[in-house]
Structure 1
């Protein structure tokens, strides 16, 4: 990072930066030209750190603001940088407030007086990243905020009942278990509170009438993540203020703070139309466009725009150009680095993950590019650029590989129970569900019922003779979606008849026999010697680098675990759990290719013909640039085509075969099967799994599923099978833009 800090110093001392500083301190607005990629963030960071300039930065919209904040978070310390979004979606696509955005706003709102003092008192500059819609949304002033929040500290005297009473007064709702901001739950001497100031809830533990400990804990695991000395408990204050004592971000910050922005005139016009069209449905009174325009014109503006808000201002031109287009052509990249080095340019390649740095170094070594010709930094920016005047190239790995880049924000809320909630939202009245205690019933929708003065939400499940059971929305674990033979309606039992319990007991006795066989099978697999695959080759690194998305931390750890298992002499038996779209197929592609490069055959078993064709297209597209033959076997193939595929498999001419139950036929023989991948295991019947047991005794097995059946999950949890979990991917993704650029958000794409 020393090189980066040295560059920021040089940039801050450049004639253009000095001129910009003079204009801001003299109260003169300016227009910036010649900035491309993340050079805008670099310039902001340099002026904030070196010249102690504070700024409010208005991006083009929410996503652009996220990416700018993500860039600046790599360049500025945490205490200097703040993110201030609107509590509503961009351009009011939804009239409901977003809890995560309120938490992020409150980081600024809760420190109103401190920020004013820090800015007026000098020192390092404060940067607040926002956008027009966000600064047009008012928030509760410091007096209102203080009156509607309170701080609990370790060692203070508070009885649990008094804290509960105060929480109720502030508008917190009592629940059995806290899952989102604005809720609290009480259990004896423990009170859990989800405040609108943190992305995780607090757990207050009382010893009598004294606060003994305060912990922050994870909603999913209920485990503590850290201890704290105090907890700021804040409800959604904006809903309590009713327009009294409200102000906007521009009113909060001193007038000497400059406003940086892109195309503010157009952004204001777009904002005005959105507010006018949505005013009737908004619970918050947004400031009018004319009022915001007046506030902005009363400040020092630093704009990037063809038609600036303040016409006739001075223009300052920088010498930045966009990162060149390489299209994954590493020879061209190496030639560019060599050529620029001969002209006195320093090339710095930015990669967020260490694994990418290792891949690039290996590629450059193979291309005979010396390490003295370039520098590598383990950090990420949205877009690379070339500073022609300082003779520095900043290239990003995701643009080189044409991969998607995700913005990173602090104070992000966890996603809870995505599978259960998704299934619940997709259910229609009349669908069948299974209650763990009462058996198969009919889903009749969601209802609200009052329980001891508290309104709770329940799932209504119908049974025989018009009986119903209400299941609390926070106890969804007691329900599961019914999965049976298509077209065959299940039997609905009468509540209290005992038939469901007898059926469960019968099933348990059969499960014991099955479990005994499975334990024996897994013990044999552990004891037997399998094939130890070779470490990654250049081909493997090239395949992984070509993935268009940036690996999530869970994807990366899962792939490392799969490789570790494959390179071991013990046959792999790993279960990978993750929802649809979370990257399980990419794990399968990489594992299959690793096996194929070692000369082993791979079988990918899927439950349906449609999924077989889908996987065939995905595998073929990802491996089209590599010497790997892929085929699929299903009923869509003619009898002669199926015979040809079977003969080719037996002769070892096919590397990867994807198929349905057809792969389990006796006529299918492999020359040297090394890896079996089973997708959606829960959809295969008992007979299919018996054949799988014989097929997979000595080969590595990788199972992919979004909904593991209880037996499979139980074996994973008890250690008989290894398990990896892929949780939600990044919410924002932006592909490295080709050519031109500027500082705008034109390259933003949703994943």
Structure 2
């Protein structure tokens, strides 16, 4: 599509128009021109959805569609609506369904009426409003997150009067200080009244379309009836570009709503006044066309200053986003803007550890038990809350909520079920001692290795900035900020004269290899060699392809060495490495025996997948060169901090600009759905992962698939098939020899299969949410959008909780949403990878969390970091102190706050959480405030070396860790809670 044609057409346009284009990309080009010409411009998302499809998977686009339509209808200026073709298949809701409502400071609210309106307008009622379209009512606090708002709003009430309106952060749930005069909220779906809402609800429940849940979220738009109309009847449509193939496809899909003849649209005429430009050197263009009228487009003044343009009389500057480069007989339009970069994925700071009754937990002194819930108990005339854990023989252990730091979730590799420990037996203590010895050995190994590297002088590499900038520019894409930071940190290490030891963690496809290649480039340009080693032939040949491509034209000799290299090739490569005629080599463990002439950089991909002997050899090779280790699993923050003395870390959290999310559908198992999903992928020339988690039934499943589609080429993989055969089959699949890869959940994590963009998970209800998110991450890696189908055997038998989790996956299809959904589980797994002891039986016995915590302590202790021995302080004051459920109703929210409070190390942290509680749930009552006091005293006691603070009657007792110190007895004015607290606090402060 030519911007010049669009510019010329719009230049003469007076009335409002719907402009139809091919896709998002074209829509943006049209938008940039329309904005430049002064149109109020609204762009609809590219909604490639088939009629009757589950719309929950298209949540974000539907929200955007509604926001843009609402703004378009409201605008009174000269306006234009830009829509990709496929979006027009969706019924457009009528303008009156986009009304809004405003709440002002001082308003009196009718709570029932407000709740009804929000419900009919499509809001979801939750404990915590953290996503668009959610609302939460908690006593005198209302949180609401409208779909068009950048930040959610918190309304505080005095009775039913609005006392304050503020923004809050959805991640931390803390409100900002600025108070707002009012807030206006839009519908989360449409502004339906009670009658319309009931009618639509009933139509969707009776729908013939097949979705996991038949409700308004999934099917509402397909059943609008008289509330919607075809976009093509609403506007005098114009086609922005010749779309023959697309048009034909949409024409075939013609819906009852959009008669086929509506698609016979006029096209935009070809223009003659302007031509499109490639603006490489703005100054040269300005020089050649200095007599014309010149318009320069830039986002802001600093971009203009930075580009050092020559100044001419006839230049007009337009400050806006967008890129338009055109040349006409008497004018030149030039843009200095760069394409917009992707936003970084936000990590959830508030991980709701959904600890549910029945979950396994580990107590650091008593071992593995089952979490039963929170209970109130009266002890010595005062009420407190306790966490109840059951051990062997149903023995119960009560843990005061002020001491929750001693409990962790039990997680082990592959969801292993633990054996419950027995209360009162010393076996767990012995086990911990054994694990501790083992961990000291691992920790000292990590530290010694690091010390050896630190003692040696590093190979100091010089960086030619100009040459390197050219190499970066040749990547063929815009580097994300994270990538740039990782590259710069690595180059700083390599040029510092110290020995680099850096770990790079990033999801597959987020650009780790690009970072590595920048390091290799610098090493080779300094006259050295670089090697990259991967655990599998498949991975090494993928890297080899990338390296060959990226280094072509730089006179860098690249070779590979793996089991597919012939003896002749192997010998030639080994000789070339020894003589220095080969600059860069990539391969599997076959490389471990190679001798190099002058090696400066070793890159290890997925180190945790190598065997013990291979790891030893890797340590030998990399002892006196720069080392970059790469991993696709996130690294736990705690371990990250402990090891920061030893290794340096880089993380890439931003997906590449062109990468799209994965559409996720939850469906009841049905052959028709399977057939349609497979054919849909094959129609666009792609391949399918089919995950079926039973080795026993996998051949039978292959037969079933061949009954549905007899010509399907299916490869079968599972853990009983040898590593060599697995790899060969994966290579064939990668080369397009198969349509479907039918496997258990071993779908290899480090690999990049750009053609496999559909995944079907059979029996999805048997997987954890983290596993499903991990699996889903295998598709949608290239420029094509991924599709993921979670098939559920019998949806009637699913618990409400399981349903909720599956639906959460449908609506959170955005990249990196795993951070919100499953960071906890992934984080724990990533920890095992670094230590390389993930297979250790000890983890099964004590769980990952405790294992990591002990490892962290061992590293700190051995590397001489100041390590306070965390002392559990026994707080036994007979006062009423707990988080009151009248203030915080939900058990899981109270549990999470108890846990965070018990982990506080300074009084500042405690007071910060106190402020957060007041902020999220309202003013603290006496019992809750007293619990905060108990935690403050616990922190102060730890600082003073106190082991126990207790009271009986009017006496307060203080005991010390150092048993030589005498216990202190204090006298309180009375037995009242506030006097006891004041007496103890007075002494501790």
- TM (norm. structure 1) is 0.60
Please give the alpha-carbon distance, in whole angstroms, between the structure 2 residues aligned to 1:207 and 1:527: 63
User: Deviation of residue 593 (structure 1)?
Assistant: 0.8
Asked whether the 8 Å contact 1:185–1:192 carries over to 2, the reply is yes
Partner residue of 1:273 out of 252, 257, 260: 252
Deviations 1:512-546 (CA, angstroms, capped at 9, x unpaired) = 44234434554665676534432345543333222
Asked whether the 8 Å contact 2:21–2:82 carries over to 1, the reply is no
Find the counterpart in structure 2 of residue 722 from structure 1: 649
Find the counterpart in structure 2 of residue 676 from structure 1: 602
Greater relative contact order (Cα < 8 A, sep 6+): 1
Find the counterpart in structure 1 of residue 561 from structure 2: 633
User: Deviation of residue 625 (structure 1)?
Assistant: 1.2
Asked whether the 8 Å contact 1:175–1:184 carries over to 2, the reply is yes
**Mapping of 1:346-385 within 5 angstroms?**
none
Find the counterpart in structure 2 of residue 101 from structure 1: 61
Find the counterpart in structure 1 of residue 81 from structure 2: 128
User: Deviation of residue 60 (structure 1)?
Assistant: 2.6
Partner residue of 1:304 out of 261, 268, 276: 268
Please give the alpha-carbon distance, in whole angstroms, between the structure 2 residues aligned to 1:585 and 1:530: 23
Deviations 1:662-682 (CA, angstroms, capped at 9, x unpaired) = 3344xx343333222121133
Matched, 1:183 2:134: yes
Partner residue of 2:166 out of 208, 211, 214: 214
Measured at CA, do residues 592 and 141 of structure 1 come closer, stay the same or move farther in structure 2, by a change above 3 Å? Answer: same
User: Deviation of residue 596 (structure 1)?
Assistant: 1.1
Matched, 1:82 2:42: yes
Matched, 1:704 2:655: no
**Mapping of 1:322-471 within 5 angstroms?**
322-323=276-277, 341=288, 387-390=327-330, 392=332, 437=361
Measured at CA, do residues 571 and 145 of structure 1 come closer, stay the same or move farther in structure 2, by a change above 3 Å? Answer: same
Q: Give the secondary structure class of the aligned counterpart of 1:275.
A: coil
Find the counterpart in structure 2 of residue 311 from structure 1: none
Measured at CA, do residues 80 and 555 of structure 1 come closer, stay the same or move farther in structure 2, by a change above 3 Å? Answer: farther
**Mapping of 1:190-205 within 5 angstroms?**
192-198=143-149, 202-204=152-154
**Mapping of 1:455-534 within 5 angstroms?**
482=413, 492-494=417-419, 507=435, 510-519=438-447, 521-522=449-450, 529-534=457-462
Deviations 1:66-123 (CA, angstroms, capped at 9, x unpaired) = 433563488478x93322247x4256594425222222223234446631xx23xxxx
Partner residue of 2:2 out of 29, 37, 44: 37
Asked whether the 8 Å contact 2:510–2:652 carries over to 1, the reply is no
Asked whether the 8 Å contact 1:56–1:260 carries over to 2, the reply is no
User: Deviation of residue 235 (structure 1)?
Assistant: 2.0
Q: Give the secondary structure class of the aligned counterpart of 2:535.
A: coil
Find the counterpart in structure 2 of residue 737 from structure 1: none
What residue ranges of structure 2 are gaps of 5+ in the alignment?
A: 201-223, 352-358, 364-407, 661-781, 786-989
Deviations 1:615-666 (CA, angstroms, capped at 9, x unpaired) = 122211211211112222334345665455444334433321223233344x
Q: Give the secondary structure class of the aligned counterpart of 1:104.
A: helix
Measured at CA, do residues 653 and 380 of structure 1 come closer, stay the same or move farther in structure 2, by a change above 3 Å? Answer: farther
Matched, 1:554 2:482: yes
Please give the alpha-carbon distance, in whole angstroms, between the structure 1 residues aligned to 2:471 and 2:634: 29
Matched residues, number? 572
Measured at CA, do residues 143 and 731 of structure 1 come closer, stay the same or move farther in structure 2, by a change above 3 Å? Answer: same
Please give the alpha-carbon distance, in whole angstroms, between the structure 2 residues aligned to 1:355 and 1:591: 31
Please give the alpha-carbon distance, in whole angstroms, between the structure 2 residues aligned to 1:615 and 1:358: 40
Please give the alpha-carbon distance, in whole angstroms, between the structure 1 residues aligned to 2:52 and 2:475: 32
User: Deviation of residue 190 (structure 1)?
Assistant: 5.8
Asked whether the 8 Å contact 1:582–1:727 carries over to 2, the reply is yes
Please give the alpha-carbon distance, in whole angstroms, between the structure 1 residues aligned to 2:530 and 2:437: 36
Asked whether the 8 Å contact 1:112–1:252 carries over to 2, the reply is no
User: Deviation of residue 597 (structure 1)?
Assistant: 0.8
Partner residue of 1:234 out of 187, 211, 232: 187
Please give the alpha-carbon distance, in whole angstroms, between the structure 2 residues aligned to 1:76 and 1:515: 65
Asked whether the 8 Å contact 2:152–2:169 carries over to 1, the reply is yes
- C-alpha RMSD of matched pairs (Å): 5.6
Asked whether the 8 Å contact 2:11–2:37 carries over to 1, the reply is no
User: Deviation of residue 599 (structure 1)?
Assistant: 1.6
Q: Give the secondary structure class of the aligned counterpart of 2:591.
A: helix
Matched, 1:145 2:98: yes
Find the counterpart in structure 1 of residue 404 from structure 2: none
Q: Give the secondary structure class of the aligned counterpart of 1:670.
A: coil
Asked whether the 8 Å contact 1:85–1:105 carries over to 2, the reply is yes
Find the counterpart in structure 2 of residue 367 from structure 1: none
- TM (norm. structure 2) is 0.47
Deviations 1:373-412 (CA, angstroms, capped at 9, x unpaired) = xx99999867865x352364869999xxxxxxx7789xx9
Find the counterpart in structure 2 of residue 365 from structure 1: none
Please give the alpha-carbon distance, in whole angstroms, between the structure 2 residues aligned to 1:371 and 1:533: 41
Q: Give the secondary structure class of the aligned counterpart of 2:32.
A: helix
Find the counterpart in structure 2 of residue 567 from structure 1: 495
Please give the alpha-carbon distance, in whole angstroms, between the structure 1 residues aligned to 2:609 and 2:86: 47
Deviations 1:305-333 (CA, angstroms, capped at 9, x unpaired) = 5xxxxxxxxxx842334558x9xxxxxx8
Measured at CA, do residues 621 and 512 of structure 1 come closer, stay the same or move farther in structure 2, by a change above 3 Å? Answer: same
Find the counterpart in structure 1 of residue 530 from structure 2: 602
Please give the alpha-carbon distance, in whole angstroms, between the structure 2 residues aligned to 1:656 and 1:415: 36
Deviations 1:225-279 (CA, angstroms, capped at 9, x unpaired) = 99783251522117866447735596999x8x99574459998776453233xx5
Please give the alpha-carbon distance, in whole angstroms, between the structure 2 residues aligned to 1:573 and 1:357: 40
Find the counterpart in structure 1 of residue 581 from structure 2: 653
Q: Give the secondary structure class of the aligned counterpart of 2:545.
A: helix
Partner residue of 2:547 out of 619, 631, 634: 619
Measured at CA, do residues 74 and 478 of structure 1 come closer, stay the same or move farther in structure 2, by a change above 3 Å? Answer: farther
User: Deviation of residue 195 (structure 1)?
Assistant: 3.0
Asked whether the 8 Å contact 2:535–2:606 carries over to 1, the reply is yes
Find the counterpart in structure 1 of residue 521 from structure 2: 593
Measured at CA, do residues 538 and 207 of structure 1 come closer, stay the same or move farther in structure 2, by a change above 3 Å? Answer: same
